[in-house]
Chain A
Amino acid sequence: MALKFPIFMDAQSTTPADPRVVEAMLPYFTEKFGHPASRNHPFGWEAEGAVDLARERLQKLIGARDPKEIIFTSGGTESINLALKGVAEMYREKGTHIVTTAIEQRATLDTCKRLERQGFTVTHVPVRPDGLVDLDAIRAALTDKTILISVMFANNEVGTIQDMAGIGKLAKDKGILFHADATQAVGKIAVNAEAMGIDLLSCTAHLMYGPKGVGALYVRRKAPRVRLAPMIDGGGHERGMRSGTLPVPLIVGFGKAAEICAEVMPEESARLRGLRDKLQDRILSSVEESYLNGDPERRLPHNLNISFAYVEGESVLMGVNKETALSSGSACTSSTLEPSYVIAALGASTELAHSSIRFSLHRFNTEEEVDYVAGRTIEVVKRLRDMSPLYELAKEGVDLKSIQWKAE
């Protein structure tokens, strides 16, 4: 099959909607346009039925006990905000300490910063060089004021999968609520809120072949019954936790995406893992001093994150971006002008954080695409090394750390 350009391998930023998802959504824009809270006519009943079906599909996918535990939101960021701020406000009397990790996404970090300004204290537990959080480190961070532990299920940059069941058990033993940011995990790997002792769980449709603009927050109803202070006031939708007319077409698409993911997960994850391993093996064996970031085993099957010593990440992206969409932890690709704090938190040198490239595969990638991207990446990295003064110095046997760099 002929390759079609550009090739998308940035699926941890977003995924294309599955055509079956779009097809399921369409009628809900036009003939089935009812408001699910209209209780007294068929338009409302039809919309409510569609939302209920989506809720059940989500419930099954994330292993919740009851569909009522699913609260629809506008996406992962809102779900995380609601979980953290909602718990903080509701349980403030009980305690004002939150435990999270050093490699969370910005929605968590910035929400925590705001809570700190409001008098909460937040502990960011460091991660090991393989990207995993030590259970003992979390245990050690807990105090009698801790009300919430918030941990990313699977990391957005290096794909490492945390021991959620272990953390869940720890939280249960201590009577502390446990929030999982599962935006990168749901639909890709097995998630079971009930079995893993998760009390709150955030996810989003657009990272699992659903539409942008809709997400969900799982809020446990039994053992314990979690309560949340709402962030948005209004008509009391979603059990009073999130007011606002439900975006029925988006929710229908989210539900369809969940159904498909549940169905294809075993086959799809095995296929993507195979492609990812091929990409990884080809690159690591062809490019000297290229380093895999994150744990080699405990990570998402579709994630690959590699640092190429002596070349800067954005310049690699620039070399491939006409044909291939990838992403980098380089400062030059971030809005903050800081290199990836995730790669840095793994203990890699800042220089290697600037040199990191993330490849993230999706449902529609093919083996031909993987072959092409591997070849093209290798070519570009080699070309950039030929023009890198650091590579030249290293080849001459100079220890880069021995040089007094004249930084601006």
Chain B
Amino acid sequence: MAYSDKVVDHYNNPRNVGSFAKDLPGVGTGLVGAPECGDVMKLQIKVNLETGVIEDAKFKTFGCGSAIASSSLATEWLKGKTVDEAGKIKNTDIVNELKLPPVKIHCSVLAEDAIKAALADYREKHAGATASAQK
């Protein structure tokens, strides 16, 4: 199977690889997938508690090249979005951007799950934080 240029680019030059300390203020962490399924993604966002904007995002992924590319792209898209906007990223957006073939669609689904999990974790830890920021 040949990979699209964008998948190859993200694989060779992954954006935002790394980790934030989980208990840092404004950080939300999502860990999805399972080792026995062959892919695990950890995606983290760092939200400005004043503005509700995602200032930084990081990922680490165990998985195939398309899984790495999907999570790398997700971190790129998350930066600069508000928490609410980030929730609107769909796996199909990732499929279209990376031109993923049908057998790799699950990688984009996992990336969407990772975003949702990170947002949920952030909301749980910072209930009311963005609401107060918007006042």
Contacts and interface: CB of A to CB of B under 8 A. Distances in A.
Contacts of A403: 31
A389 B17 CA distance: 10
A330 B37 contact: no
A351 interface: yes
Contacts of A196: none
B42 to A, nearest CB: 4
Contacts of B19: 392
A387 B110 contact: no
A312 B33 contact: no
Nearest to B32: A406
Contacts of A332: 38, 63-64, 66
A390 interface: yes
Given A331-B38, A337-B103, A314 B110 contact: no
A386 B17 contact: yes
B41 interface: yes
Nearest to B14: A387
Contacts of B33: 405-408
A408 B61 contact: no
Contacts of A310: 62
Contact of B109 (A349, A388, A408): A408
Contact of B60 (A330, A354, A387, A405): A387
B36 A387 contact: no
B34 A407 contact: yes
Interface residues of B, number: 33
Contacts of A315: 11, 63-65, 67-68
Contact of A387 (B32, B39, B61, B64): B61
Given A386-B17, A387-B17, A351 B36 contact: yes
A215 interface: no
Interface residues of A, number: 29
A194 B106 CA distance: 51
B37 A407 contact: yes
A125 interface: no
A318 B36 contact: no
A197 interface: no
B128 interface: no
Interface string B31-71: 11111111111100000000000000001111111111000
By Cβ-Cβ distance, the 9 closest A-B pairs, closest first, are A405-B34, A389-B42, A407-B34, A350-B36, A314-B64, A351-B35, A318-B65, A332-B64, A389-B60
15 contacts: A312-B39, A314-B65, A318-B11, A332-B64, A349-B35, A351-B35, A387-B14, A387-B68, A388-B60, A389-B42, A406-B31, A406-B32, A407-B33, A408-B33, A408-B109
